Amino acid sequence: MEWLQREITLSPKSRGFHLVTDEVLSELPEVRDVQVGLLHVFLQHTSASLTINENAAPAVRGDLERHFDEMVPENQPYYQHTIEGPDDMPAHIKASMLDTSLSIPVQDGQLAFGTWQGIYLNEHRNNGGARSLMLTLKGEWA
């Protein structure tokens, strides 16, 4: 078994849910050489999150954004952490509700997703900027 670890930077995204599977894989081509393994993806931020969800229908990403905005609205009178703007505290709450890491099986050189699954970066800030991911790949290499 071998280990590979790489930090990558995703381009800045607008607020919303973004399919980033291809962006991740382009930065980690070694996945193609792993027969059996595991990819761990860790987001090094507190106001964005990661999830695995629908990779074919863009409407899902818009529906998720609208739903989370309803569940966790801005400008609540009980928020104390507001110095960075009205989107900051809701961004932290959304990140805690979803997560900042994923573990994905690797099989025969591919991420072993279900038919309609992909990696989402969920940007919860209006201007979150570039986001850093730590990718850790462990497996039996071909």
- What are the per-10-residue average pLDDT scores of the chain (142 residues)? 96 98 98 98 98 97 98 98 96 97 98 97 97 98 90
pTM of the predicted protein model: 0.96
Residues 6+ apart with CB under 8 A from 59: none
pLDDT value, residue 10 = 98
Distance, in Å, from the CA atom of 122 to the CA atom of 45, rounded to the nearest integer, reads 11
Nearest CA to 106 out of 40, 53, 42 is that of 40
Half-sphere exposure in the Cβ direction for 121 (13 Å, CA): 28
pLDDT value, residue 42 = 98
pLDDT value, residue 109 = 98
CATH architecture of 2-73+84-141: Sandwich (2.60)
| Per-domain residue ranges of the chain | 2-73+84-141
Distance, in Å, from the CA atom of 21 to the CA atom of 27, rounded to the nearest integer, reads 10
